[in-house]
A and B are shown apart, each in its own frame.
Chain A
Amino acid sequence: MTSSLRLRAGLVSIVLLAAFLGIWHIATRSTGATTTMSPEYAKLMGLTATQGKSAMPGPLDVGAKLWEHLKRPFYDNGPNDKGLGIQLAYSIARVGTGYLLAVLVAIPLGFLIGMSPLLSKALDPFIQVLKPISPLAWMPLALYTIKDSSVSAIFVIFICSIWPMLLNTVFGVASVRKEWINVARTLEVGTIRRAFTVILPAAAPTILTGMRISIGIAWLVIVAAEMLVGGTGIGYFVWNEWNNLSITNVIIAILLIGVIGMLLDQILARFTRMVTFPE
């Protein structure tokens, strides 16, 4: 039953994809030479103007270009032109650094806040104000104070991924069932041991959910941050190709950003499943 459902769902997915590609192909066909131009003039003009080629590339153009990129993902033609593999590696490294720093701060801090009602109440207004700030709004401030664009990008990732983790940790720790804590207390378990053997496993699913939300946001933000600071990374790639009005490459980058984002999310989803327990 489930296998046949899966099969049917798969078929529908393929049909949808084919329909999408078909419509895309038809919509971006070139209309043929539009106006008559002197050949001398036509030589100086782009295909959009001479052949009536759509400014939007078709799926075949994108496919061919994608294949070209996949064939040599790690080329290095100097500081402003590197292969997609290298660009993605830069972005992932930035996200990884900022994100790990955020984990190191958010989870211990969340634990403290969650275990202490006083701290929880005292810090709440600050967190509430800082949480909704768009991470990119920190960018000018970071650039101005840190004075280093790549560190600023990491800082922006750090600041945007810290809040979901912090709040989820606080919430998870604070809502551990009272009975369990009471049982631990009856058995005279020390605070540290209680934190690690009772609260941590109980709050783990909530914490992991927070981490999963954070990685999603971090990946969203890195692209925008790299477009601003430039240099390296997939965001820079998008910007550089936009500069050349190469929509084909921009589409490829969009596709890859989606795939990597999905992979990051799936990795954390797997971790979440590992710590989830039935009640």
Chain B
Amino acid sequence: MSTFDDPFDSDRNLQAGCVCGQHRSALEHEQAASALRCEPIESEDKRYEGVVASAVMRAMFPQDVARRAFLKSVGASTALAALSQFFPLKTATEVFAATGTPEKKDLKVGFIPITCATPIIMAAPLGFYAKHGLNVEVVKTAGWAVVRDKTINKEYDAAHMLAPMPIAISLGLGSSAIPFAVPAIENINGQGITLAMKHKDKRDPKDWKGMKFAIPFDYSMHNYLLRYYLAEHGIDPDTDVQLRSVPPPEMVANLRADNIDGFLAPDNICQRAIYDGVGFMHILSKEIWDGHPCCSFAASREFITTAPNSFAALTRAIVDATAYASKAENRKQIAEAIAPANYINAPVTVLEQVLTGTYADGLGGVKTDAKRVDFDPFPWQSFAVWMLTQMKRWGQIKGEVDYKTIAEQVYLATDTKKLMTEMGLSPPASAYKSFAVMGKTFDPAKPEDYVASFKIRKGA
């Protein structure tokens, strides 16, 4: 007998042997069908329902004879209704389905060696992937474009991407259009504007005309935040300064060689510049927008549909790791776990300063900000809408933008919410929230008005 057969068929022996499809009368078949299928099962959910109901029935009637007698006397649908009264079959089924066996256990996940990838990386040495039944190899990758290509080419099953990248890929900006999705945000905050030592008296952005800045990628929060910051201070990022896409590790070397004046970069790079004495922290990105997303955990829609259980397990592992990383007391241990050459490959002191938030600012002071970087997995769809407004603002996308639809397709808030609830976490009720960037409130319901409200923008 298969576990997936109808437990409400009184003729069936739950202990052994299958009698599926052998109903005595059409009526009984009808009853059974309306209650729970016994024909080949079409959907995963139905199958799980069967398994759970079987287990419950077995628990209630350890003696098969008694179960049969009970079913004969009341009928399958009544039994089901009665059972549902006092046992939450639906919830039990959901919980069971959530831990379905992964279709694919050995997975490859790409990452860029920066502290934003902390949950993705630490999940390997600290055993979060293993805990959720996966054998994940985290592979260090040379740059954002390579991560994108390798994930599109299916060399990676999922990857660490900058939060706007899955949106850009889904829209076909800078690559062919392939539907991607974000089940979890990696980190919030955790970036900074670092300037070369020679600019230590030039702290007002109004004096920055003609300077050269590095950003990690065109489709990055770094690009949008730096542009936003400059524009708020009256500097047009397209005409008054030069913005260059530079891979993070080359930023420090370029700063030392005087090729750039500063950068808005992911962390451990900012702190590394300070550690090596070539730059100082102008501001943390947190001061531009407290709680901004930075990097995301992304996978293609194809992977999600072909291996839904693997994907769910992966998401659970990431959410789990993110929850662990969000606790301040764990940060030192994490810094040590991710520092070796196999992972980030950076001095432990640097990672500790980033993760614990007690850091040298490069000007001789020690600052403390426990929220310098934080970890919160929930993929707010309003984040996606904001990124789309900035893409529109800076001419990366043109014409009509269907903000809400795109955000909902790419940022899987509903699915993650469900997972988080199952894991005993408390996700927010709505996927949209309003927030303020440099004191200006963003209303996710009115993205067009928001774009139009900026004086400095491309083609304005």
Give me the interface of A with B, judged by CB distance under 8 Å. 35, 37-38, 40-41, 43-46, 48-49, 55, 77-81, 143-144, 147-149, 227-231, 239-245
B140 touches A240 (CB 8 A): yes
Expressed in whole angstroms, the Cα–Cα distance for A80 and B349 within the complex equals 21
**Nearest-CB residue, chain B, relative to A36:** B364
Closest 6 CB pairs of A and B: A49-B277, A81-B342, A44-B360, A81-B341, A243-B249, A147-B153
25 A–B contact pairs at CB < 8 A? A35-B364, A44-B275, A44-B360, A45-B275, A46-B349, A48-B275, A48-B276, A77-B342, A78-B342, A79-B138, A79-B342, A80-B342, A143-B153, A228-B146, A229-B142, A229-B146, A230-B142, A230-B146, A231-B139, A240-B140, A242-B249, A242-B250, A242-B253, A243-B249, A243-B345
Q: Is A55 a contact partner of B359 (Cβ separation < 8 A)?
A: no
- Cβ B341 vs Cβ A244 within 8 A: yes
Chain A residues with CB under 8 A of B347: 46
The answer to whether B349 touches A228 (Cβ under 8 A) is no
Q: List chain B residues, Cβ under 8 A from A241.
A: 345
Q: Can you name the residue of chain B whose Cβ is closest to the Cβ of A247?
A: B253
Q: How far is the CB of A149 from chain B (nearest CB, A)?
A: 6
Q: By the criterion CB–CB under 8 Å, are A80 and B275 in contact? A: no
Minimum distance in angstroms from B78 CB to a CB of chain A: 56
B residues with CB within 8 A of A: 113, 137-142, 146, 149-150, 153-155, 249-250, 252-253, 256, 272, 274-277, 340-343, 345-347, 349, 353, 358-360, 364-366
Given the known inter-chain contacts A46-B276, A77-B340, please indicate yes or no for A230 contacting B141, CB distance below 8 A: yes
Interface centre among B341, B342, B343 (most CB of A within 10 A): B341
Asked if A244 and B345 make an inter-chain contact with CB atoms under 8 angstroms apart, the answer reads: yes
Given A55-B276, A230-B146, A240-B140, the answer on whether A245 and B252 have CB atoms closer than 8 Å is yes
How far does the Cβ of B192 sit from chain A's closest Cβ, in whole Å?
A: 15
Does B341 contact A44, Cβ atoms closer than 8 Å? Answer: no
Asked whether, in the complex, the Cβ of A41 is within 8 Å of the Cβ of B140, the reply is no
- Give the residue of A40, A43, A77, A143 whose beta carbon is less than 8 angstroms from that of B149: A143
| A20 vs chain B, min Cβ distance (A) | 23
* Best-surrounded residue of B149, B154, B256, B353 (most CB of chain A within 10 A): B149
Name the residue on A nearest B274 (C-beta).
A45
Max count, chain B CB within 10 A of own CB: residue among A41, A49, A77, A243: A243
Q: Find the A residue at minimum CB distance from B111.
A: A80
Chain A residues near B349 (CB-CB < 8 A):
43-44, 46
A245–B249 touching, CB < 8 Å: yes
Docked CA distance A227–B247 (Å): 12
Given A37-B364, A79-B139, A148-B153, A44 contacting B353 (CB threshold 8 A): yes
Question: B115 to nearest A CB, angstroms?
Answer: 13
Q: Which residues of A contact B150 (CB under 8 A)?
A: 149
* Residues from chain A with Cβ under 8 Å of B149 in the complex: 143-144
For B353, the chain A residues whose CB sits under 8 A away are: 44
Known: A80-B343, A81-B340, A149-B153. 8 other contacts (CB 8 A): A43-B349, A45-B274, A45-B275, A80-B140, A81-B345, A228-B142, A229-B142, A230-B140
Most buried by B among A43, A78, A147, A231: A78
**A44 in contact with B142 given A55-B276, A147-B153, A240-B345 (CB within 8 Å):** no
In the complex, A41 Cα to B349 Cα: how many Å? 12
Contact of B360 among A45, A144, A148, A149 (CB under 8 A): A45
B306 to chain A, nearest CB (A): 17
- Residues in B neighbouring A244, C-beta threshold 8 A: 249, 341, 345-346
Instruction: Give complex CA distance A144, B349 in Å.
Output: 40
A138 to chain B, nearest CB (A): 15
Tell me, in angstroms, the Cα distance from A244 to B343 when the chains sit together.
11
- The reply to whether B276 and A49 contact each other, CB–CB distance below 8 Å, is yes
With the chains together, A55 CA to B366 CA distance in Å? Answer: 23
A239 to B346 alpha-carbon distance, docked (Å): 13
